[in-house]
Structure 1
Amino acid sequence: MRLLDAYLFPALWVGYLAYWQVMSANVKVTQRLEPAASRILRMVLFLSATILLLYPRIPLALLYWSIWPSSRWTFFIGAAITAAGLLFSVWARRHLGRNWSRSVTIKEDHELIVTGPYALARHPIYTGLLAGFLGTAIALTQVRGVLALGLIFISLWAKLRLEERWMRGQFGVSYETYSRRVAALVPFIL
């Protein structure tokens, strides 16, 4: 079990990031790109969250306080939620196809995708990513996991708000109708 404990979460996240890198090559040409400042801020928040999760020796004791008891159950429940979230995000990425971008963009011949995972949430990649961080926080059982989740949520919420404005500008009434029908992140709730 020690090997599983040590390598399961890194394997899930490294596999996810490797997939993302490979799939980022075949996308449509960008017509409009978000400002560099928002991309840099998001990168800083993601890097901070990653450091919180990866470095178990940050000299701030409160980061390591347990929020709930650590057990095999919390580990495997967290792993299942992480895997399900990352797979949901991959499904959304595949469904989005060549319209995908790492940053907020408008692509040439940009299409409004409203089927598959996009029929459940307007931003299912973010939904899956947040679920992945939630699962990791559950398995970690420490304050630092919840802080990392919070940083990722803030980062993705800011990105989502910019993306929403751009999609409304690009697709008008079609996007407005879609946004009234489909929740942003959590199906039927948020």
Structure 2
Amino acid sequence: MPVAHWIIIAFWLVFIVYWGLSALSAKRSVRGTAWWRHMVIRLAIAALIMISVQIPAIRHALQAALSERTGSLLVQVIGASLVALGISFAIAARVSIGRNWGMPMSRKEDPELVTGGPYAYVRHPIYTSILTALLGSVIGYGVIWLPPLLISLAYFIYSARREEALMCEQFPTQYPAYMQRTKMLLPFVL
């Protein structure tokens, strides 16, 4: 396995460990989607991936992708760099939001509207960061990362829209103004 692949995996492991540990200090949720609904959504996504892998055409494409030759060193470096950028930006956003972080579509005790740090550029920098890291994984590791990228993109857009409706309820004057000056996922674009 090329070194770039190990680097990509290492960045994802750092992300998972950091995310798990930092979740312990988040404010208590007072209302929102029940934890079991989040689990059901994640299990449904995993089931869809497993079912799709059983479709002969998809299985054949994945087998071909797994056996494909590794891209050039430059492509691997670009991919690993995007993963590093995405994971670093996600951690910076998580640090910036602090104890206000929570599961998607949940409400926190004594919420604060965070608009500084990475949140000054996009309203959902964690989603942007994870998508960037997934794109880097596709480029630097292989197309095996494409299904998680596409599924995450769809889920994050859905989740962002739901979260924005909740934020408009919680912060009826500040959040619409914040929406006017920032983009949802891509600075200056989307």
In the other structure, the counterpart of 1:132 is: 133
Residue 122 of structure 1: how far off its partner (Å): 0.3
Distance 1:113 1:159, change over 3 A: same
Moved more, 145-154 or 176-185: 145-154
C-alpha separation between the residues in 2 aligned to 1:28 and 1:116?
Answer: 20
Distance 1:102 1:49, change over 3 A: farther
Residue 45 of structure 1: how far off its partner (Å): 6.3
Q: 2:184 is matched by which residue type in structure 1?
A: A
Distance 1:130 1:78, change over 3 A: same
Q: Residue 155 of structure 1 aligns to a residue in which SS?
A: helix
- The 5 Å alignment of 1:1-190 reads 2=1, 4-35=3-34, 39-40=38-39, 42-44=41-43, 47=46, 60-65=59-64, 70-142=71-143, 144-190=144-190
C-alpha separation between the residues in 2 aligned to 1:167 and 1:16?
Answer: 26
Cα RMSD (Å):
2.7
Moved over 6 A (4+): 48-51
Asked if the contact 1:49–1:152 (Cα under 8 Å) also holds between the matched residues in 2, the reply is no
Moved more, 82-91 or 28-37: 28-37
C-alpha separation between the residues in 2 aligned to 1:186 and 1:37?
Answer: 30
Distance 1:6 1:132, change over 3 A: closer
Asked if the contact 1:31–1:106 (Cα under 8 Å) also holds between the matched residues in 2, the reply is yes
* Identity %, equivalent residues: 29
Residue 156 of structure 1: how far off its partner (Å): 1.2
Asked if the contact 1:45–1:155 (Cα under 8 Å) also holds between the matched residues in 2, the reply is no
Q: 1:61 is matched by which residue type in structure 2?
A: H
TM-score normalised per structure 2: 0.85
Tell me, which stretches of 5 or more residues in structure 2 are unaligned? Answer: 51-57
CA deviations on 1:109-144 (whole Å, 9 max, x unpaired) are: 1000011100000000111011010100111342x3
Residue 77 of structure 1: how far off its partner (Å): 0.4
Tell me, which stretches of 5 or more residues in structure 1 are unaligned? Answer: 52-58
Q: Residue 107 of structure 2 aligns to a residue in which SS?
A: strand
Q: Residue 32 of structure 1 aligns to a residue in which SS?
A: strand
C-alpha separation between the residues in 2 aligned to 1:124 and 1:36?
Answer: 22
Residue 39 of structure 1: how far off its partner (Å): 1.5
In the other structure, the counterpart of 1:55 is: none
Q: How many pairs are equivalent?
A: 182
Distance 1:186 1:45, change over 3 A: farther
